[in-house]
Structure 1
């Protein structure tokens, strides 16, 4: 007979074969599987006995459930306290909002806030940020040009950067585009593509700062860079040729200025040198003329006192100067009629050298020699006449 048949709960030895056993508190009824609620209740009672009773079994706080709740509350408070610690980086500043309202600014380091009450947002105030504005823009002379402008900036006020405008970075980008279009609209295309780039950059930076100050976005513009400007692709080749021509023009102008700076000082120095030489020659000639006049004035009384002697002396002085600069050949006219050999080639070369040397000499002395020579010719002719007459007298 099976062990679970009615009336067969004992084996031959009189032991109970029911695997679940009998619950003697229920009057010998058959017992089913254990109840899970009962198991959890027993476990709860054990935990309550450990935390809520002393050694004698009496509750400390009026019951185990109250003590367990207190422990949970303490643990929750500790977690809340430790979760409130946070760190702000060296290059950052923290903006604290208490229940959605601005409370204070937090410096770098370890800080604490009441969790779920204060909200902290960190902002890097030392990093250099950048953005770029570009697009097709209309110029003052109704041309279209493609311009690119780069802006470098940083955060100066974290609270204004976060809450003064909806998106400070996007607002700055729109402000840059607006400022750039305003400046390009007041400029000519040739100036934008060539020489006016620096002025456009300065005007754009000035206009952009005015917009930032008006909206108070908590940003500071560090630098504005004019990156590129070019005409539309349809006319790009023609503008490239025009730009190349302007560059050639500027290059030629610089070369001409360099040549002028090199030649002009030399010409000025040469003119000054010639001027000084002319002044020196004028003073020398005048002084020599004055000296010759003084010499003739001294000679005139001597000539008036003894004309013959003075004439002879002038003639001899003149001949001495003339023969000292020329080749001389002395021939005895009264000798026999033998043929004489004259070195004509040597005489010609010597006369040429002496004539060249005479040209480089003083002109005033040549004029003076000419005057003396002319005065001496008359005396020579007179002497020659006297000697001829005396010879004739001797012969007769």
Structure 2
């Protein structure tokens, strides 16, 4: 072989080897850079985030030595790349809801946003077959159909994400248990008429207590009836009963209104009569005082005049003038009576 050709071949091989090593080096550096940059993540304004390192939730150590969950606020942040760190997104201010209904499909109803890691699509949902949990037995052994709407939100992000795999199902089951327990202590007429709010308040309280005992990290905001109805076979009878109860309440309210009106009218009339009697009493007292004062004045004058016959005659005539106009008078001719005899 020609020495010059051999030398050129060796030089060419060395250049190729250098180029390959350079490409491999650059590829490795680029891969490391991409891997390092994969730790950059963005928390949206309506979100917060939790970070785990090797599967353990990261905490903050306070100056007094206490530890608290490290909650990542909205913005751009960095963590160690996967699989060292993993990010979980949550929406703490979002109001979530579940529906307890016989014919409801729960697909898409309760989104489990915030409990999905960054490498899974946000908005994961779950679907179930229809449940028959909308038929409940009341305390007086009547069947009633109820659809219940429950709203809740996150109270403790760490518990919400890591203590339960399906929070919406847990909230629904806890609310359904609370509703069944409450209805078992309640008369069907109360559920259909005046006791609805009492039932809802008790269901909310029992549901919250159950969720707190399970450390679900959830606060129940509101519980409302979507529908309340008796079974179709006896629906007309229940409607008649409800209508009768409404008529009873209406009649009672009207009677109470009439009672109040009559009471206030009688009270007003009594007050008027009391006022008139008081005025008449005061008038007579004043008149009696005036007559007394006048009599005392005349008496004093009579005593000063030496009790003369003229004063007595004048007093007698004034008394006669005052008395005679108020009496019925009979005039008798005594002379004619004596002649008739």
- On whether the aligned pair clears a TM of 0.5, the verdict is yes
Report how far residue 237 of structure 1 moved: 0.7
Within the candidate set 65, 69, 78, 1:112 is matched to 78
- Output the CA distance in 1 between the equivalents of 2:240 and 2:257: 26
Report how far residue 48 of structure 1 moved: 5.5
Equivalent position of 1:33 in the other structure: none
CA 131–47 in structure 1, closer or farther in 2 if over 3 Å, else same? farther
The reply to whether residue 160 of structure 1 matches residue 159 of structure 2 is yes
CA contact (8 A) 1:153 1:222 kept: yes
Equivalent position of 2:29 in the other structure: 74
Report how far residue 107 of structure 1 moved: 2.2
Equivalent position of 2:239 in the other structure: 240
CA 72–199 in structure 1, closer or farther in 2 if over 3 Å, else same? same
Report how far residue 244 of structure 1 moved: 1.2
CA contact (8 A) 1:149 1:225 kept: yes
Report how far residue 163 of structure 1 moved: 1.6
Report how far residue 150 of structure 1 moved: 1.4
Residue aligned with 1:269, SS = helix
- Output the CA distance in 1 between the equivalents of 2:94 and 2:13: 57
CA contact (8 A) 1:148 1:226 kept: yes
Report how far residue 261 of structure 1 moved: 2.7
The reply to whether residue 129 of structure 1 matches residue 89 of structure 2 is no
Report how far residue 279 of structure 1 moved: 5.6
CA contact (8 A) 1:153 1:220 kept: yes
- Output the CA distance in 2 between the equivalents of 1:370 and 1:91: 99
Residue aligned with 1:373, SS = coil
Which string of whole-angstrom CA distances, capped at 9 and with x for unpartnered residues, describes residues 217-251 of structure 1?
Answer: 11111112233321111111111111111112222
Q: CA RMSD in A?
A: 3.9
CA 215–369 in structure 1, closer or farther in 2 if over 3 Å, else same? same
CA 245–66 in structure 1, closer or farther in 2 if over 3 Å, else same? same
CA contact (8 A) 1:91 1:126 kept: yes
CA 188–77 in structure 1, closer or farther in 2 if over 3 Å, else same? same
CA contact (8 A) 1:48 1:65 kept: no
TM-score w.r.t. the length of structure 2 is: 0.68
Which sits farther off after the overlay, 89-98 or 271-280? Answer: 271-280
Q: Which has the higher helix share?
A: 1
When the two structures are aligned, how many residues end up with a matched partner? Answer: 275
Equivalent position of 1:368 in the other structure: 324
- Output the CA distance in 2 between the equivalents of 1:368 and 1:159: 107
TM-score w.r.t. the length of structure 1 is: 0.59
Q: Which runs of 5+ in 1 are unaligned?
A: 1-23, 26-41, 53-63, 299-304, 319-364, 389-396
Equivalent position of 1:178 in the other structure: 177
Question: Following TM superposition, where does structure 1 have runs of at least 4 consecutive aligned residues deviating by more than 4 angstroms?
Answer: 44-48, 278-288
Report how far residue 278 of structure 1 moved: 4.5
Equivalent position of 1:258 in the other structure: 257
Q: Which runs of 5+ in 2 are unaligned?
A: 3-8, 60-70, 102-133, 300-308
Report how far residue 252 of structure 1 moved: 2.0
- Output the CA distance in 2 between the equivalents of 1:233 and 1:246: 20
Q: How does 1:1-396 map to 2 (within 5 A)?
A: 49=15, 52=18, 64-104=19-59, 105-117=71-83, 118-134=85-101, 135-278=134-277, 368-369=324-325, 371=327, 373-374=329-330, 377-378=331-332, 381-382=333-334
CA 285–84 in structure 1, closer or farther in 2 if over 3 Å, else same? closer
Relative contact order (alpha carbons < 8 A, sep ≥ 6): 1 or 2 greater? 2
Equivalent position of 1:349 in the other structure: none
Residue aligned with 1:120, SS = strand
- Output the CA distance in 2 between the equivalents of 1:73 and 1:113: 21
Report how far residue 291 of structure 1 moved: 6.0
Which string of whole-angstrom CA distances, capped at 9 and with x for unpartnered residues, describes residues 349-392 of structure 1?
Answer: xxxxxxxxxxxxxxxx7x73364733xx24xx25x769x9xxxx
Equivalent position of 2:109 in the other structure: none
